[in-house]
Structure formats: C-alpha cells, structure tokens
C-alpha cells in the first residue's frame, strides 16, 4: 500500500500480523489458520477468537515491533505491518517478505482488503473481498439516499469519545469522522484533526454535542461522568449517550465492521428515518455472510451491547 515492490510466497501459510485492525481482515478472508504470530489477545478481542478459534494456536507477540530474530524463530513466511513500524525495513533486510498495510478511510480499507485477498491467493478470499466491496457500496448509497433531504445545518452534532480516562476524542480526517457523516451527523470535534486526541471535559462542554457515542472499549463512565459539567451537557440531559457495539473488532475503529457501524450509527442519530431497521438481524446476516459464522440472537445482542461472548 506504500508502493514498495517485493517478492512474496505464492500462498503464505505462516503469517505474522503486527497490526491489530488487519487481523480482522485476515480472519474475514478465511486466513485465520495462516496466522502463526499475532499482536491480538483474546482478552482484547474476545469475539475475534470466538469466531476464529484457530487464533489460539498462534504465538501472541508482546509488542507490535518484534525483532526479526523473533519472527525468524517463528518460521513466518510473510509479515503484515504498518509502514510506520520501525522494524519493517529490518524485516525486509533480513529476508522476511513484509507487506505494509494501513488505511485512514473506506477507500483505503477496500484497497487493503483487495491487497490482502491477492496475497492470500485463495478463491474464498477473492470472493469475500468482492462481495464486501459491493455490500459496503450498496449500504453507503442506501444511507445517503435516505438522509439526502436533511440539510447540513440540521444534522445533529455527534461527539465520539474513544476513552474516558484519559479523555480522548476523534476529530476530522478519520474513519470515525467518515461514519458520523455517512450516518447523517456532524462531528462535534471537527476542529481537531486526527484520532485519539486528548481533550478536557471543559472543551467537551464548549462543544456541547447533541449526541455522545462512547467507544465500545472506552472504559467505565465513572467517575469522569459524575459531575456537574458532564451532567449539564445537552446530550446527557436528553439521554442521548450511547455505548458503541464491539464485535470481531470495535465497530467504531478501523475495520470491516465499518459497514455495520454506519447502519447502527444512523439508527442512533436519526431514529425517525430508521424505525424499520433491525440491527439484530442485520448483524446476524453480516457475520453469516462475511465471517461464515451463524450468530445466535443472544450473541448478536451481546455484540450490540459491547459485551464479550457469554
């Protein structure tokens, strides 16, 4: 994805995946059995391991920048890593085929998906990648059409809080900003650029958003939200504070469940336009179609409530 040309194994069988978000892509494309080393943890992503138990056979790496010696000892034949990792060039110089993967918007997500399917080189991976692209495009078009009549100035101001302690939000130029807009909202933190930006409670009070969405892994709301500043926020007084769903990966971050996130967020931001949307069934159909996993109703309910598997 960075323009670096490299020679790769035809069908890698022992992959080290050093980017958390990319593990979900490998799992969705049927590549879980090929993951020999990963930075993921079952404690961090329990649904990922629940849907892809083959991950339990992988070596869990303690950091996103393992040494080349560690990877060689794991007999990996391919590494996926974000280009910003300091170890990438070392891996390549050591002779380990390394593919740089990173994205900041849906166009990049789709490029990453296509690249990964090409690298895996299986008919299943290619089919799923094509199917997902069509699904995402159809979903975005349907949302845009349904929300088209709402003037920009009338769209609710939505604040996405990644974590409560420390308080961090997501601003412009992020996938979070993208899903807020696709779902018919305006990003209350649009004056801030980038993801995971620290802010004060006083800054949030100055924005005074109409809706607050707490990241699915943002932590306990107490004691940060137990005080007069928080309680006087427009969203809090109106009862419009929501916890984001968490599935194979947090829906609100950088993963393929973005296609579910935009639908869920639209029902939260504009319930008057989506009273006929059944997120329970949409969620079950998505995992069946793209992860080859038949979610029970209770499992879908737990994902939507940001709860781990029972």
Domain that holds residue 206: 150-275
> 87 and 193 in one domain?
no
Measured in whole angstroms, the distance separating CA 2 from the mean position of its chain's CA atoms is 21
pLDDT of residue 189: 98
pLDDT band at 307 (very low <50, low <70, confident <90, very high): very high
pLDDT reading at 220 higher than 90: no
Looking at the structure, do residues 119 and 231 belong to the same domain, yes or no? Answer: no
What's the domain count of the chain?
A: 2
Residue that finishes a domain, picked among 76, 98, 130: 130
CATH of the domain at 40: 3.40.50.1980
Question: Tens of pLDDT along 93-120?
Answer: 999 999 999 999 999 999 999 999 999 9
Confidence of residue 222 (pLDDT cuts 50, 70, 90): low
Q: For residue 308, tell me if it sits in a domain.
A: no
Do 164 and 217 lie in a common domain?
Answer: yes
From 99, 130, 161, give the residue that closes a domain. 130
* Judgement on whether residues 104 and 177 belong to the same structural domain of the protein: no
CA–CA separation, 244 vs 241, rounded Å? 10
- pLDDT average, residue stretch 60-79: 95
120 and 217 in a single domain? The answer is no
Is 145 part of a structural domain of the chain?
Answer: no
pTM of the model: 0.95
In a domain, 19, yes or no: yes
Q: Are residues 31 and 79 in the same domain?
A: yes
Residue 160: what pLDDT? 97
Q: Is residue 30 part of a domain?
A: yes
Is 172 found in the same domain as 115?
no
Residue 135 resides in a domain: no
Give yes or no for residue 3 having a pLDDT over 90. Answer: no
**pLDDT of res. 129:** 98
Tell me whether residue 74 is in a domain. Answer: yes
pLDDT for res 272: 94
> Same domain, yes or no, for 123 and 171?
no
Same domain, 162 and 257: yes
DSSP state string for the chain: --S------SS-SSEEE--HHHHHHHHHTT-GGGEEEES--TTT-HHHHHH-GGGGGSEEPSSSS--HHHHHHTT-SEEEE-TT-TTHHHHHHTT--EEE---SSHHHHHHHHHHHHHHHT-HHHHHHHHHHHHHHHHHHHHHHHHHTTS-GGGSPEEEEEEEETTEEE--BSSHHHHHHHHTT-EETTTTSBSSSEE--HHHHHHH--SEEEE-TTS---TTTT-SHHHHTSHHHHTT-EEEPPBSSSBTTSSSTTHHHHHHHHHHHH-GGG-TT--HHHHHHHHHHHHS-----HHHHHHHHTT----
What confidence tens digit (pLDDT) does each residue in 28-65 have? 999 999 999 999 999 999 999 999 999 999 999 998 89
- Give yes or no for a contact between 204 and 224, defined as CB atoms under 8 angstroms apart: no
On the question of pLDDT at 223 being above 60, the answer is no
- The per-residue pLDDT for 165 is 87
Last residue of a domain, which of 130, 159, 194?
130
Residue 143 located in a structural domain: no
Kindly state whether residues 51 and 95 are assigned to the same domain: yes
User: Does residue 8 lie within any of the structural domains?
Assistant: no
Is there a single domain that holds both residue 267 and residue 177? Answer: yes
Question: pLDDT tens digit string along 182-193?
Answer: 999 999 999 999
- Do 124 and 156 belong to one domain? no
């Amino acid at each position: 994805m960075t323009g670096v040309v490299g020679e790769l194994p035809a069908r890698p069988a022992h992959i080290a995946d050093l980017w958390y978000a990319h593990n979900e892509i490998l799992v969705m494309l049927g590549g879980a059995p090929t993951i020999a080393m990963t930075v993921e943890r079952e404690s961090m992503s329990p649904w990922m391991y629940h849907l892809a138990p083959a991950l339990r056979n992988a070596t869990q790496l303690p950091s996103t920048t393992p040494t080349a010696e560690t990877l060689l000892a794991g007999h990996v034949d391919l590494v996926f890593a974000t280009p910003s990792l300091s170890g990438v060039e070392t891996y390549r110089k050591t002779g380990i085929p390394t593919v740089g993967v990173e994205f900041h918007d849906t166009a990049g997500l789709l490029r990453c998906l296509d690249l990964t399917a090409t690298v895996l080189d299986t008919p299943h991976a290619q089919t799923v990648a094509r199917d997902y692209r069509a699904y995402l495009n159809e979903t975005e078009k349907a949302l845009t059409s349904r929300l088209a009549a709402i003037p920009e100035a009338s769209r609710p101001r939505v604040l996405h809080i990644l974590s409560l302690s420390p308080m961090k939000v997501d601003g412009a130029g992020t996938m979070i900003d993208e899903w807020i807009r696709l779902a018919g909202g305006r990003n209350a933190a649009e004056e801030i650029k980038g993801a995971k930006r620290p802010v004060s409670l006083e800054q949030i009070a100055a924005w005074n958003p109409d809706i607050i969405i707490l990241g699915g892994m943002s932590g306990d709301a107490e004691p940060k939200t137990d005080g007069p500043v928080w309680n006087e926020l427009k969203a809090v007084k109106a009862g419009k504070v929501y916890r984001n769903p968490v599935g194979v990966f947090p829906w609100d971050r950088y993963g393929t469940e973005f296609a579910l996130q935009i639908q869920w967020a639209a029902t939260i931001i504009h319930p008057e336009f989506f009273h006929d949307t059944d997120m329970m069934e949409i969620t079950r159909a998505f995992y069946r179609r793209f992860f080859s996993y038949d979610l029970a109703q209770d499992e879908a309910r737990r994902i939507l409530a940001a709860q781990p598997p029972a």
